[in-house]
Amino acid sequence: MTSPAPDRSPKDLVLTPGPWAYGGHTVARTDEGRVVFVRHADSGERVKARLTDADPGAKFWRADTVEVLEASPHRRDRHPWQAADALLTAAGGLPPVGGAEMGHLTLERQREVKTGVLRELLGGIGRLAPAELDALDPAVEALPGEDPRGLGWRTRAHFAVDAAGSIAMHPHRSEALVPVAGFPLMVPALEALGLAELDFTGAERIDLVAPCGGADGEAPAIVVTPAAGDSAALREALRERLAGELLARLEEASPGLSVLLGPAEGERGPAEVLAGTATVRERAGGFSWEVSAAGFWQIHRHAPATLLEAVGEAAQLTGGQTALDLYSGAGLFTAALAEGVGASGHVLAVEGSPLTSADAARNSAPQEQVEVVRGSVDEVLAERWPGVVRAPRRRAHGSRQRGGGRARRTASRAGSRAASSTRSAAETARPGVVVLDPPRAGAGKNVVDALNALGPSRIVYLSCDPATLARDLARFRHHGWQFESVRGFDLYPNTHHLETLVVLTR
């Protein structure tokens, strides 16, 4: 007798979501006690949720809200982006795309939720006592000039390209592609490009950049990644269309924009400039940076100015100090640190990505007190202060840095020719202040232990992931560090992400 085929139709459950957890979901339980992570809901609602991951052997299931039976008072009347609206897309038989998973809530409620999640992580993983949390009173702040709907803030965005050549995005935890008409979280200068009307057949990914948020007369840049494995003829056909028909259409919307054709996934080499330049000009707080179009920069249009001010206040620099700018990116904080320590001070900026560290060296060139080193942060610190910092242990395959490059150490002294990386501890005073802005993986044990050994008076830790931040803070606490202040910034409205700035002293 043939067994019946398994039922693969979507399963809906009626649930009452409980507290929020980090990751953009609430925590609910079935009548049998099964934990279900529910997205697109709010605590205390009664919802119908469609299971998206329901492995019988899993510790928990995942689900998307498809109908609201009893609504939260904080639920918006209308989601600001239709493609990410779980209720609307469910009615059409499609999953919502990622990128605005909290858009169903008011911005005030979003920040309240993020503040609660931050406190929970600091008290749990970070091991802060309730009294300490109350004294620090961390809260997630709105940025100046915020759009009342939380739209128009992204100066960087990327799209996948589907088989028809249309821009598309992925639903949460899915490899499927859903065509989109636009992305309202982008600044208007990027929305105005009208990418949904263009045919990008032969491309795999489209990256967009709007320097200065599209202000100050700066034109956008578009970086097109060709599909991996395509023949040389198909690659050339894409190149010709980009340099011809597509460029003409794009320039109608944004005269002077830059168009680059990058290497395919897994290939090496610089992007080919088909129009404009390979870099964009960013400005904030009286400083200016030249940043590779394919390089790293803060996404929110007001983030550079906001974070420059916050980090500058937290660092409390004095003339003649040595300051470390770890995971420096293109040098957002480097120039301000150099200004703070003055001509008699020294700033050591460390960045792992070859492309981004080259940007940092170029931007710091006028400041003789700045040294830019490319390499793994823990390795650079161990080599610079060998009698103080223990050399990290490495796996055979090496470590990975922001930007995807294997940790390789090279250095350049800003304002001069490329220099060797043999500057000694005797030539570099121990740092008085450390600023670190690691990727989502956090700093980790090696870096925390190294900074503790160096013994600066202040550490300013900027994090885009509160879970790994809390893990690192627990280790700092183990070494005797105290938390002077904690601030949260809502750099990613309508998403669950947040930025956190912590000042540590000892």
22 is in an annotated binding site: no
Task: Judge whether 356 and 402 are in contact, CB under 8 Å.
Answer: yes
Mention every residue, 6+ apart, whose C-beta is less than 8 A from residue 481.
Answer: 452, 459, 504, 505, 506
Q: Is 310 helix (H, G, I), strand (E, B) or coil?
A: helix
> What six digits make up the tokens of 413?
């002294």
298 is in an annotated binding site: yes
Mention every residue, 6+ apart, whose C-beta is less than 8 A from residue 444.
Answer: 378, 438, 472
Q: What one-character-per-residue DSSP string does 430-483 give? A: PPSEEEE---TT-SHHHHHHHHHHH--SEEEEEES-HHHHHHHHHHHHHTT-EE
437 is in an annotated binding site: yes
CA 67 to chain centre: 31
Burial of 467 (0-12, 13-18, 19+ CB in 10 A): middle
* β-bridge partners, 224: 206, 261
> Of the residues 105, 308, 337, 464, which is catalytic?
464
Q: Please tell me the distance from the alpha carbon of residue 208 to that of residue 243, in angstroms, as a whole number.
A: 17
DSSP 329: T
Mention every residue, 6+ apart, whose C-beta is less than 8 A from residue 349.
Answer: 324, 325, 326, 328, 331, 334, 360, 364, 370, 371, 372, 373
Q: Please tell me the distance from the alpha carbon of residue 469 to that of residue 22, in angstroms, as a whole number.
A: 13
Q: Which residue has the tokens 């900026």?
A: 349
DSSP 212: G
Please indicate whether residue 464 is annotated as part of the active site. Answer: yes
* Binding-site residues for S-adenosyl-L-methionine: 298, 327, 351, 437
Residues annotated catalytic, as ranges: 464
Pick out the residues of the known binding site.
Answer: 298, 327, 351, 437
